[in-house]
Amino acid sequence: EKFKIAVIPGDGIGQEVVPAGIKVLNKTAEVFGNFAFKFEEFEWNCEYYIKNGKMMPDDGIEILKNYDSIFLGAVGHPKVPDHVSLWGLLLPIRRKFEEYANVRPVKLFEGIKSPLCNKKPENIDFVVVRENNEGEYSDMGGRIYQHSDREIVIQESVFTKYGVERIIKYAFEYAKMHGRKKVTSATKSNGINFTMPFWDEIFLETSKAYPDIETSKFHIDALVAKFVTNPEYFDVVVGSNLFGDILSDLGPAIAGSLGIAPSANLNPDKKFPSMFEPVHGSAPDIAGKGIANPIGQIWSGSLMLEHFGFKEAASIIVKAIEKTIKDGICTPDLGGKYKTNDVTESICNKIE
């Protein structure tokens, strides 16, 4: 089976880690032999924006529709406001392709010490499922009385029954498929008194169809604290767009580095392409030095294989990552002295 992949390296270290991800995917395809990739690259990024006044061509979405999935690095440049790069590329892709489930696994690997808590690898192994299409990231609102000291700014949140039901159902299905035992919901129904009680109701209602899966819910403020003090409590955590965003950055921080965290923007119905990208951004502070950690990108490639149905190949990549870290072949963000290429080579060599 041959898969057509649209590759968007993006900005900064995206340009450095995406080739690493491709190398590992090609190596895996070579070793397994029952699938192959055709990668096609698109230089849609902040440089493109500076030249053309937009992050991608007007028919960008139409072009991407022809691919089986999208493999993205990161976008963002000090010369372009972050909301421009985000709303110009990432968000349209996530929304037009109904990539409503953003799945971000968090795992502490042997050989990494969590900087935030004193836990063992077996204590930190959970998955954050973030709603990816609506919620707090609404683009609805406005500013009035600007430049006066009476300025008023409003940003609406949008929670639809359809949208909340499908993400919570997905979280339970994910738990079921992956043998996970508990789904925890992030809420704030004490302070946010319309959308969050609505979220809680749907969580309760949906959970009834999954009597074998334990459930719990916490307000987001308590939940973030519990992530740090009791990470072993968590299995699958489901949250709205904003809460999921926060939790899925905190998760990797607990597990040692933003540089290893992967994410899948899934259109579970496979009607449209899904997008796979590391959680981290373009890291302009270390770009061009060859020291970016490629693991977040490489692990995202493994999630792509899983999405295509190649579970074994996907897990071999994760095992190769695990061994590489255990061998101490790490970039500086993990306290090592190795470069992007060394880590990539080591992972490739362990796939066989």
**Is 259 a residue that touches ligand NAI (CB under 6 A)?**
yes
Q: Which is nearer to ligand NAI, 74 or 266 (CB)?
A: 74
Query: Which partner, Mg ion, ligand NAI, none, binds residue 283 by CB below 5 to 8 Å per kind?
Result: ligand NAI
Q: Which is nearer to ligand NAI, 238 or 295 (CB)?
A: 295
Query: Which partner, ligand NAI, Mg ion, none, binds residue 245 by CB below 5 to 8 Å per kind?
Result: Mg ion
Of 41, 47, 82, 165, the one binding ligand NAI by CB under 6 A: 82
What type of residue sits at position 289? Answer: K
8 A C-beta contact, residue 9 and residue 18: yes
Q: Which is nearer to ligand NAI, 37 or 44 (CB)?
A: 44
**Is 296 a residue that touches ligand NAI (CB under 6 A)?**
yes
Q: Which is nearer to ligand NAI, 45 or 195 (CB)?
A: 45
What's the order of all strands across the beta sheet hosting 274-278?
36-41, 2-10, 69-74, 274-278, 262-266, 101-107, 125-131, 236-239, 182-187, 214-219
Q: Which is nearer to ligand NAI, 28 or 297 (CB)?
A: 297
Residue 137 beta carbon to ligand NAI: minimum distance, rounded to whole angstroms = 13
Residue 296 beta carbon to ligand NAI: minimum distance, rounded to whole angstroms = 5
Question: Which tokens hold the place of 218?
Answer: 């916490």
Q: What is the 3-state secondary structure (H, E, C) of the chain?
A: CEEEEEEEEECCCHHHHHHHHHHHHHHHHHHHCCCEEEEEECCCCHHHHHHHCCCCCCCHHHHHCCCCEEEEEECCECCECHHHHHHHHHHHHHHHCCCCEEEEEEECCCCCCCCCCCCCHHHCEEEEEEECCCECCCCCEEEECCCCCCCEEEECCECCHHHHHHHHHHHHHHHHHCCCCEEEEEECCCCCCCHHHHHHHHHHHHHCCCCCCEEEEEEHHHHHHHHHHCHHHCCEEEECHHHHHHHHHHHHHHCCCHHHCEEEEECCCCCCCEEEEECCCCCCCCCCCCCCCCHHHHHHHHHHHHHCCCHHHHHHHHHHHHHHHHCCCCCHHHCCCCCHHHHHHHHHHCCC
**Is 13 a residue that touches ligand NAI (CB under 6 A)?**
yes
Q: Which is nearer to ligand NAI, 94 or 180 (CB)?
A: 94
Of 36-44, 70-78, 98-106, 142-150: span binding ligand NAI (CB under 6 A): 70-78
Of 136, 178, 142, 193, which Cα lies nearest the Cα of 303?
Answer: 178
Question: Which tokens hold the place of 104?
Answer: 């971000």
Of 286, 303, 321, 329, the one binding ligand NAI by CB under 6 A: 286
Query: Which partner, ligand NAI, Mg ion, none, binds residue 13 by CB below 5 to 8 Å per kind?
Result: ligand NAI
Q: Which of residues 237-296 bind Mg ion (CB under 5 A)?
A: 245, 249
For the chain, how big is the Rg over CA atoms in Å? 20
Q: Which of residues 85-124 bind ligand NAI (CB under 6 A)?
A: 90
315-344 footprint of ligand NAI as x/- string (CB under 6 A): ----------------x-x-----------
206-245 footprint of Mg ion as x/- string (CB under 5 A): ---------------------------------------x
Q: Which is nearer to ligand NAI, 183 or 287 (CB)?
A: 287
Of 74, 112, 129, 330, the one binding ligand NAI by CB under 6 A: 74
**Is 285 a residue that touches ligand NAI (CB under 6 A)?**
yes
Q: Which is nearer to Mg ion, 63 or 242 (CB)?
A: 242
Which residues lie near ligand NAI (CB under 6 A)?
13, 17, 74-76, 82, 90, 258-259, 277, 280-286, 292-293, 296, 331, 333
Which residues lie near Mg ion (CB under 5 A)?
245, 249
